[in-house]
Every structure is written in C-alpha cells, then in structure tokens.
Structure 1
Amino acid sequence: MRWLHATLAALLVLLVSTLGASAQQPAAPETLRVGILQYGTVNWELDAMTRNGIDERHGVDVELVPFAGEDASAVALQAGAVDMIVSDWLWVSRQRSAGADFTFAPYSTSVGSIMVPGDSAMQALTDLRGKTLGVAGGPLDKNWLLIQALAQRDGLDIAAENEIVYGAPPLLTAKAESGELDAVLNYWHYAARLEAQGFRTLISGTEAAMAMGTAGPVAAIGWVFRDSFAAEHPEAIEGFLAADEEIKALLQESDAEWVKLAPLVKAEDEKTLATLRDRYREGIPTRSAEEEIADTRALYRLLAEIGGERLVGPSPELIEGTYFTGRKNGT
C-alpha cells in the first residue's frame, strides 16, 4: 500500500503544479477586427501598433480588414463583419438617432485646409473672391460648410462668388500643382503633401471652427464600435484604446518609427515624410473628454443650422452616447 500512497502523492503534486502553471499562463489576446480603408492614413498607426506588438501587450490581437471605401466599411460594421471602423461623430449621432448603438472614441483632430501656392497674394479668406477653388469631400463636407459660414460672416458668399470645382482628392491635388486651381480645400494628408511642395495654408477647418466658437481642436474622426460590443468585450475595447494611446505616444516621439513607416506612407521624399509626420502629430487629441464633448455639441448645432437634416439627420442636437464614456455609455 505504501507504493500506492506514494503514487497518489506524486500524481497530486503533478496535478497541483499543472494547475498552477495553467493559472499563471496569460490569457490569449482577444481578436478585434478593425475595418480600414486600403490606402487610408489609419493604416500607418495600426501597422506600427501591430508591428511593435503593442496591441498584444494590451491583450488585443488587432486584425486589419481592408475596404475600398468608407461606405463599404460602414456597411461591414452594421452587418457585424467587423468590430470597429474609423468614422466621424456626425455619422455616429445620426445612427444613434435611428436607434443604433454605435459610439465614438477620438482618433485625430487633423482636418482639411485650403491650400494656396506659396507665392500667392491671397492672405485672408475674403481674398478668395472670384477665384477658382477645388473642394474635396463634396458640398456637405464639414470643413467646407464651416469655411462657408465663416466667409459669410466676413461678407463673402464663397459658393456663389467663386468657381467651385468638386472632385477626388488626388485629382484636385494635381490640378492645384498644375495651376488650374487658385486654391484647393483638401484632406489633411493631401494638404501636407502640397505644403511640402511649397504651398501654404490659407485657413484650416480647425481654424474655421475655432473662429466660429469652439475652444480648441475637435476630433474630426474616431474609433467607432457598438455599445453592445463594448459591454460584451470590455477588455478588448479598453485594451485597444490603451494600445492606441501608447502607439500615438511612440509616433509622437520617435522619428525612427516614421522611417520604418515610409514605404506605407509613400512619401515622395524626406521633406514630404517629415511634413506628414509633423501634421499627424499635431492631430493627436490632447484635450479632456469633457472639453471635446462640449465643443462637439456646439459644433454639431452650428452644422445643423448650416447643413440641415441632409447633413445631421433628424436631431438638431448631438445624441447622448455619441462619445464613448465607458461600459454604461449613454445611460
């Protein structure tokens, strides 16, 4: 019987050690499917995040799901094919007004700017009168509406008194470079590429918003996901947002990290890469959630007055819960 007792004791020791080892094993990272535009600037941040293992360090395995356009990524989120995309708070608020539970966490304050050649005589918004202006994003683009409102305040009906050319960002960039346009309102990274070639900013969307009453830069786009997903997967959302904060800090401080990103950024030269890097860094949100939400509410009311229901949907006010504030968001 002595050998049986010894065998049982050995088995018990083995079982306890095995259980102890299992308990010490870290939980496997939770997969988070993020829908991205194939050639979007969000890829830069997520590439650096996953390449450096920052997502896994925070308990998340970020899976990138590429799409050809914003509409496709939004449809995928609505269908549950992805867990998260990047979009703006106008879309989120409009969806919430229709009963959906999407919510928004700030990603970037970088917005478009009106760019003019470096040697242009134009110095103020009113100097645009009678000029040919290219506009990316269409008639309901937020920056375009804000700049129109500011110009109207200064006595210029910019849409009526100018030749407006709507078009895709790359096409408008090419027309600006060739001199076919006197000025161009383009997305931030196209504006940065023009800046590297000697163009300068006449006015940015952020400057227009602040001139119209916001206290600081407002996050134009953010990470968008469902409240229900956050409630069911709180560690994944909290881990991802922590990883996002860490990678932003790395990209803020490390020029070497931008050299590694150069093939993905596709900068034409070192000056363009440096300009894109600097403008990205300027767009990292730094304000408190309370400041962001207060300014977004004010900006939303202004856009509702300017763009009406076509832009914001049926609600004249930003819907409660549009900004993600935690697991019980909007309640």
Structure 2
Amino acid sequence: MRLKLFVGAIALTALMTASVAAAERTIRIGILQFGTASWELDTIQRNKLDQKHDIELDIVPLAGTQATTIALQSGEVDLIVSDWLWVSRQRAEGQDFTFVPFSSSVGAIMVPADSDIAALGDLRGKKIAVAGGPLDKGWLLLRGLAEREYDLDLSGENEVLFGAPPLLVQKALQGEVDAILNYWHHSARLEAAGFKRIIDSNEGAIALGAKGPISAIGYVFDEKWADANKDLAISFFEAARDAKEILATSDEEWEQLREMTGAENDAELAALRDRFREGIPTRPLSEEVEDTATVYALLAELGGEELVGPSKTMAPGTFWTVLVDGF
C-alpha cells in the first residue's frame, strides 16, 4: 500500500512539474477574431513551429481593437497586435509597452478600373471613402503629400465619407464613391475585383522622407514581461519568422488558409497572398526604427496632440531594443 502511495506521489509530482513547465513556456496572445495575424499564428501551429521552438500558444480571440489593448493593459494576455503609434503614446505616458514589426502592408487609394483618376492630384473634387476615421495614419500622410505636391487639401476640397471598412468596400463596388482608402486586405479584395491602385500610404511616407517601407502593425507586449521571459519571447519571434518564410514561399500553404482568409475566389486569395508577402518585413530593424521616427514626426505635425498625445517625437524604446540589432 505504501509503495502504491509512493509511486502515486511521484506521478503527481511529475505531472505538476510538467504543468508548471508548460505554463512557463506559454504565451497568451489576444488577437482580432478575423485579423490577418491569425493567419500567421495558424501557420505556426499547423506546421508545429510552436513545438520546434518549445513554446505553447494560448490564442484568445477578441472582438475589437479596444478589447485587445484593454486585455494587454489588464494583464489578461501577454501579447497583442497593434501599431507603434499607440505604443509610443503609451510610453510617453509612463507605460512600458514595446513593439516588434509584423507587417508593412498598408491601405491604398483604389479606384474603379474605368476611372480617369491616375494620380493623387486627380482626386480634387472627388468623393472619397476613408476607413479608420479622420486621424487614420495613411489618410494623414496622403493628405500631407497631396498638399505638398498638388496644393490640394483632400479634406477641404472633397466630400470624404468615413465608415466601417466592409461597408465602404460595398459602396466602392456599387459606384457610390470615386475612390477609397481602406485597410490593406480590403484593398487587396478590391484589386481582385478589378480596381486600380493609385498610391498606398507607405509610398506617401517615402515621398515625404522615409527611406523605405515601415511596418503598420506589430506584436505589442510589456517590456517588463519580455525582460523576465526573454528566451520565451525570442522563441516566439523565431517561430513567427519561420511562419513568414513558409507564407512567403509556399502557395500550398495559402490553400490551407483559404477559408480563414475569407477569400471568395482564386483571384482574391492570390491578391491577399501577394500583398501579405509584400508586407513581410525584410529591412534591418535599425533602419525601420529611424524611418518610423521620421514618419512619427510628420504625423505629429499633421494630426497634432489628438493623434500622438503630448510627445512630438517617438518615445525611446517604442521598438523592442533586444531585436533592433537582430537575434
């Protein structure tokens, strides 16, 4: 009887030890239920990259952007997908969040195939749909470029319609607007439907002084958590890097993602695939940090305190310094 109890105690201890070890290698990730980051996380799990890098992903679907930031701030999750502008503002207010690039895919101004609009200056007097509201980063950058290059006030000289991205897509397809600036995946769907790309917000940023494309969104987390779990965090980013490599090179992998992307046909899937690949960060992170600081200063001028908060320069540590020189 004593032997059985002893063996049972050993088994229970081993089980508890394994559970603690698993918990120590688990990352809780809050993501938008239909967000594009879910494609990368699915690729990690389906290709067992989590096992390869000895991590476990606890994916928490959330309903909206505000829900993800609240979950991170409250400690319900370790990591979310957001943008560097939010991170910089939080750091300027005393928080310790930091950012690792996920994608430089950005929205573009799209017009119908038969439109006579061929450049930013041709938008004068047109009806434009804009997702993200009047303080959307891409909209502000393109407004700034139009002002400089064409002496055109896109906000003052045009009828601008703000709204939810899917609704604006429908209005564009029904011919209710002359042009639309939407998030990159919605722009890709319009491209598959025959719409033409005029200019995207990264092209606008480069025209205004950036030297190359910068990431629109990235993985965001508390720097104190990352410092305390550095090996775990780096292992996750290594898994994410491997997933990006698969998504960049394997068309078959995108077939596995077809349902998750919501692609309605082959052309739509191909457009989503190609634009996703286009946005995979490849530049040295130190260069991207420099360009992001340049764009931040532009946005501070264009959007003011309402957009960036009290700081007119990007806060130090906005990008996770551990990865600035690679890992």
For the criterion TM > 0.5, the same-fold answer is yes
Deviation at 1:258, TM superposition (A): 0.3
Match of 1:146 in 2: 141
Instruction: Give, in whole Å, the separation in 1 of the partners of 2:116 and 2:232.
Output: 52
- Are 1:284 and 2:285 matched, yes or no? no
Structure 1, 281-290 or 318-327: larger mean CA deviation: 318-327
TM-score if structure 2 supplies the norm length?
0.91
Q: Which amino acid aligns with 2:185?
A: H
- Are 1:177 and 2:173 matched, yes or no? yes
- Are 1:104 and 2:99 matched, yes or no? yes
Instruction: Give, in whole Å, the separation in 2 of the partners of 1:29 and 1:251.
Output: 28
**Residues 29 and 61 of structure 1 are in contact (CA less than 8 Å); yes or no, is this contact kept in structure 2?**
no
Match of 1:227 in 2: 223
Please list every run of 5 or more consecutive structure 1 residues that lacks an aligned counterpart in the other structure: 1-21
Instruction: Give, in whole Å, the separation in 1 of the partners of 2:163 and 2:244.
Output: 31
Question: Superposition pairs for residues 182-193 of structure 1, below 5 Å?
Answer: 182-193=178-189
Tell me which of 86, 102, 105 is aligned to 1:91: 86
User: For residues 157-199 of structure 1, what are the alpha-carbon distances to aligned partners after superposition, in whole Å with 9 as ceiling and x for unaligned?
Assistant: 1111110000000000000000001100000000000000100
Instruction: Give, in whole Å, the separation in 2 of the partners of 1:328 and 1:299.
Output: 18
**Residues 28 and 59 of structure 1 are in contact (CA less than 8 Å); yes or no, is this contact kept in structure 2?**
no
Tell me which of 227, 238, 245 is aligned to 1:242: 238
Larger Rg belongs to: 1
Report the number of matched residues.
305
Match of 1:165 in 2: 161
**Residues 285 and 324 of structure 2 are in contact (CA less than 8 Å); yes or no, is this contact kept in structure 1?**
no
Q: Does the residue aligned with 2:257 lie in a helix, a strand or coil?
A: helix
Q: Does the residue aligned with 1:114 lie in a helix, a strand or coil?
A: strand
Match of 2:39 in 1: 44
Instruction: Give, in whole Å, the separation in 2 of the partners of 1:282 and 1:29.
Output: 34
Q: 1:28 to 1:57 in 2, by over 3 A?
A: farther
- Are 1:323 and 2:311 matched, yes or no? no
Instruction: Give, in whole Å, the separation in 2 of the partners of 1:74 and 1:126.
Output: 37
Instruction: Give, in whole Å, the separation in 2 of the partners of 1:28 and 1:64.
Output: 14
Tell me which of 132, 140, 143 is aligned to 1:137: 132
Instruction: Give, in whole Å, the separation in 2 of the partners of 1:178 and 1:242.
Output: 43
Q: Which amino acid aligns with 2:308?
A: V
Match of 1:267 in 2: 263
- Are 1:72 and 2:67 matched, yes or no? yes
Question: Superposition pairs for residues 11-26 of structure 1, below 5 Å?
Answer: none
Instruction: Give, in whole Å, the separation in 2 of the partners of 1:78 and 1:48.
Output: 27
Instruction: Give, in whole Å, the separation in 2 of the partners of 1:244 and 1:328.
Output: 16
Deviation at 1:328, TM superposition (A): 11
Tell me which of 122, 130, 139 is aligned to 1:127: 122
Deviation at 1:56, TM superposition (A): 2.1
Q: Does the residue aligned with 1:272 lie in a helix, a strand or coil?
A: helix
Q: Find runs of 4+ consecutive structure 1 residues off by over 3 angstroms.
A: 26-29
Match of 1:81 in 2: 76
Instruction: Give, in whole Å, the separation in 1 of the partners of 2:54 and 2:310.
Output: 39
Instruction: Give, in whole Å, the separation in 2 of the partners of 1:27 and 1:50.
Output: 16
**Residues 59 and 235 of structure 1 are in contact (CA less than 8 Å); yes or no, is this contact kept in structure 2?**
no
Instruction: Give, in whole Å, the separation in 2 of the partners of 1:278 and 1:122.
Output: 24
Instruction: Give, in whole Å, the separation in 2 of the partners of 1:315 and 1:55.
Output: 38
Q: Does the residue aligned with 2:321 lie in a helix, a strand or coil?
A: coil
Please list every run of 5 or more consecutive structure 2 residues that lacks an aligned counterpart in the other structure: 1-16
Q: Does the residue aligned with 2:109 lie in a helix, a strand or coil?
A: strand
Instruction: Give, in whole Å, the separation in 1 of the partners of 2:240 and 2:174.
Output: 38
Instruction: Give, in whole Å, the separation in 1 of the partners of 2:22 and 2:69.
Output: 31
Instruction: Give, in whole Å, the separation in 2 of the partners of 1:279 and 1:66.
Output: 24
**Residues 169 and 187 of structure 1 are in contact (CA less than 8 Å); yes or no, is this contact kept in structure 2?**
yes
Instruction: Give, in whole Å, the separation in 2 of the partners of 1:307 and 1:49.
Output: 37
User: For residues 197-249 of structure 1, what are the alpha-carbon distances to aligned partners after superposition, in whole Å with 9 as ceiling and x for unaligned?
Assistant: 10011110011001101000001111000111011111110000101100000
- Are 1:155 and 2:114 matched, yes or no? no
Deviation at 1:327, TM superposition (A): 8.7
Instruction: Give, in whole Å, the separation in 2 of the partners of 1:296 and 1:223.
Output: 16
TM-score if structure 1 supplies the norm length?
0.90
